[in-house]
């Protein structure tokens, strides 16, 4: 592990919301350092180096920028005790970025290399974790980007000459502004973002860039449908979604099944693992991954069989939904049911150390640089 700079700057967050909370993922509030490695066909991955973010320059005339040859991850570091730092299920991120890279014909990242680089940069800039701000976390953005210079599409064995792996850190608050409040969604049955046989199950730039046209035409976050029938619900612009069904003997957490068009969200998987161990309002909880269609959702909202809904993701965690726009008409969900709130408290309680982690989700970042000259 190389350290190319010992330069740093005082911990400060120039950009805050009116209520004093941190906005999500703003460049102005970035931590000063990143960690980077370069891959070449001749040498493979090079030794990761910690350097200033400002020193990393990438030409716009590269394969990654021109043709969206980029995969990435989203994860968070959480405060633990007085000065400890913990990561939430980092092994899942390591495996997913490798799958995404393989699927986009980019060089795979060894999991050990990913984990070592991740621990190193989070430890090096651990003082940037905003402990003093309620709900503050260190949002972590690993990426693999084809930085080969030039324009022109071709087989990677000829066109891919240089690829960068990097990680940047962004002190952040909640993804949705205004604190923890329910959000409204729009189910968009016109715009589409994924297709059978495509790359929607990889975490790559094109998936998110493809959501912008729909988002520009709505004041709400968007939920996309299958492009073939325009009725099968898939996922949101930056999140997975689940609905809560309830009868007299059980809760049922229902979410669209992974079908090659949906990203396998780590928080989504956490919901599916944690929910069956819960009892809410005296009722057990079951989970169901299956096809969900707009007419069913509409009918069950109107009849009251659906008592809750939420979006899930690294940034959103578990954010409740109070209104859903379907075919231009807004439908209100019952916000009195306690399930979504109990589930969110369970997961965030594990993340922030308020409740025991019975699942082994949290991984502490070891101290490595305490004796380094930057800290003397």
Residues 36-45 pLDDT 10s:
999 999 999 9
Q: Is the CB of residue 224 less than 8 Å from the CB of residue 194?
A: yes
274 occurs within a structural domain: yes
pLDDT-derived band of residue 33, with 50, 70 and 90 as boundaries? very high
Q: What is the pLDDT of residue 372?
A: 64
Q: Within this chain, do residues 200 and 134 fall inside the same structural domain, yes or no?
A: no
d(CA 322, CA 222): 14
For residue 91, give the CATH number of its domain.
Answer: 3.30.470.10
Identify the domain containing residue 243 by its residue range: 183-337
54 occurs within a structural domain: yes
Residue 178 has pLDDT above 60, yes or no: no
d(CA 134, CA 300): 36
pLDDT-derived band of residue 374, with 50, 70 and 90 as boundaries? low
Helix residue ranges per DSSP H, 217-252: none
pLDDT-derived band of residue 239, with 50, 70 and 90 as boundaries? very high
d(CA 210, CA 199): 12
For residue 224, give the CATH number of its domain.
Answer: 3.20.10.10
Closest by Cα among 242, 276, 240 to 358: 276
Q: Within this chain, do residues 190 and 164 fall inside the same structural domain, yes or no?
A: no
356 occurs within a structural domain: no
| 127-136, 221-230, 353-362: least confidently modelled range | 127-136
Q: Within this chain, do residues 140 and 189 fall inside the same structural domain, yes or no?
A: no
Q: Total structural domains in the chain? A: 2
What are the structure tokens assigned to 97, written together? 């970025």
d(CA 53, CA 27): 10
Higher pLDDT, residue 6 or 297: 297
Q: For the chain, how many residues are written?
A: 376
The residue out of 146, 172, 198 marking a domain boundary is 172
Q: Within this chain, do residues 78 and 142 fall inside the same structural domain, yes or no?
A: yes
User: What is the number of H-type helices and E-type strands within the chain?
Assistant: 9, 20
Q: What is the pLDDT of residue 162?
A: 97
Q: Within this chain, do residues 139 and 216 fall inside the same structural domain, yes or no?
A: no
The residue out of 172, 192, 218 marking a domain boundary is 172
pLDDT-derived band of residue 89, with 50, 70 and 90 as boundaries? very high
Q: Within this chain, do residues 124 and 61 fall inside the same structural domain, yes or no?
A: yes
Q: What is the pLDDT of residue 21?
A: 83
The residue out of 107, 141, 172 marking a domain boundary is 172
149 occurs within a structural domain: yes
Residue 179 has pLDDT above 60, yes or no: no
373 occurs within a structural domain: no
Q: Within this chain, do residues 62 and 163 fall inside the same structural domain, yes or no?
A: yes
C-alpha neighbours within 13 Å on the C-beta side of residue 352 = 16
Q: Within this chain, do residues 61 and 150 fall inside the same structural domain, yes or no?
A: yes
> What is the pTM (predicted TM-score) of this model?
0.94
351 occurs within a structural domain: no
- Per-residue burial over 107-137, b if 16 or more Cβ lie within 10 Å, else e, is bbbeeebbbebbbbbbbbbbebbbbebeebb
15 occurs within a structural domain: yes
What are the structure tokens assigned to 55, written together? 């020193």
Q: Within this chain, do residues 152 and 255 fall inside the same structural domain, yes or no?
A: no
Q: Within this chain, do residues 157 and 280 fall inside the same structural domain, yes or no?
A: no
- 304-342 pLDDT, tens digit per residue, is 999 999 999 998 999 999 999 999 999 999 889 999 999
Residue 187 CA, distance from chain mean position: 20
Strands 283-290 and 251-256: parallel
For every residue of 182-194, DSSP letters joined together read -EEEEEESS----
Residue 376 has pLDDT above 60, yes or no: no
Q: Within this chain, do residues 83 and 42 fall inside the same structural domain, yes or no?
A: yes
pLDDT-derived band of residue 131, with 50, 70 and 90 as boundaries? very high
Q: How confident is the prediction for the chain on average, in pLDDT?
A: 93
Q: Is the CB of residue 122 less than 8 Å from the CB of residue 87?
A: yes
Residue 61 CA, distance from chain mean position: 27
Higher pLDDT, residue 343 or 372: 343
Q: Within this chain, do residues 281 and 305 fall inside the same structural domain, yes or no?
A: yes
249 occurs within a structural domain: yes
Distances, alpha carbon 328 to alpha carbons 32, 34, 135, 301, in Å:
45, 44, 34, 15
Distances, alpha carbon 169 to alpha carbons 216, 292, 312, in Å:
27, 36, 21
- 252-306 pLDDT, tens digit per residue, is 999 999 999 999 999 999 999 999 999 999 999 999 999 999 999 999 999 999 9
């Amino acid at each position: 592990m190389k350290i190319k700079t010992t330069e740093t700057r005082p911990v400060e967050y120039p950009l805050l919301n009116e209520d004093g909370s941190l906005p999500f993922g703003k460049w102005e509030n970035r931590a000063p350092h990143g960690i980077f490695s370069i891959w070449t066909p001749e040498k493979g991955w090079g030794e990761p180096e910690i350097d200033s973010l400002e020193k990393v320059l990438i030409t716009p005339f590269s394969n990654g920028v021109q043709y969206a040859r980029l995969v990435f991850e989203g994860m968070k570091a959480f405060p633990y005790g007085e000065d400890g730092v913990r990561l939430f299920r980092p092994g899942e991120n390591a495996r997913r970025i490798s799958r995404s890279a393989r699927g986009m014909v980019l060089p795979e990242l060894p999991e050990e290399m990913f984990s070592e680089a991740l621990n190193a940069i989070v430890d090096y800039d651990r003082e940037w974790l905003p402990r003093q701000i309620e709900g503050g976390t260190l949002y972590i953005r690993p990426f693999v980007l084809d930085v080969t210079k030039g324009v022109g599409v071709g087989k990677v064995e000829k066109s891919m000459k240089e690829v960068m792996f990097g990680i940047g850190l962004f002190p952040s608050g909640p993804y949705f502004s205004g604190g923890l409040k329910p959000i409204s969604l729009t189910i968009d049955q016109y715009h589409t973002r994924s297709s059978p046989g495509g790359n929607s199950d990889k975490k790559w730039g094109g998936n998110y860039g493809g959501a912008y046209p729909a988002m520009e035409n709505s004041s709400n976050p968007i939920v996309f449908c299958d492009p073939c029938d325009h009725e099968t619900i898939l996922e949101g612009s930056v999140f997975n979604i689940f609905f809560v069904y309830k009868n007299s003997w059980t809760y049922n957490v229902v979410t669209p099944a992974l079908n090659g068009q949906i990203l396998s969200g780590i928080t989504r998987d956490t919901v599916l693992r944690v929910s069956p161990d819960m009892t809410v309002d005296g009722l057990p909880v079951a989970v169901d991954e299956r096809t969900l269609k707009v007419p069913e959702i509409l009918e069950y909202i109107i009849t009251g069989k659906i008592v809750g809904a939420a979006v899930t993701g690294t940034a959103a965690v578990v954010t409740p939904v109070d209104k859903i726009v379907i075919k231009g008409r807004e439908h209100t969900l019952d916000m009195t049911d306690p399930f979504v709130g109990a589930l969110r408290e369970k997961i965030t309680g594990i993340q922030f150390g308020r409740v025991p982690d019975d699942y082994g989700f949290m991984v502490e970042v070891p101290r490595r640089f305490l004796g380094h000259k930057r800290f003397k």
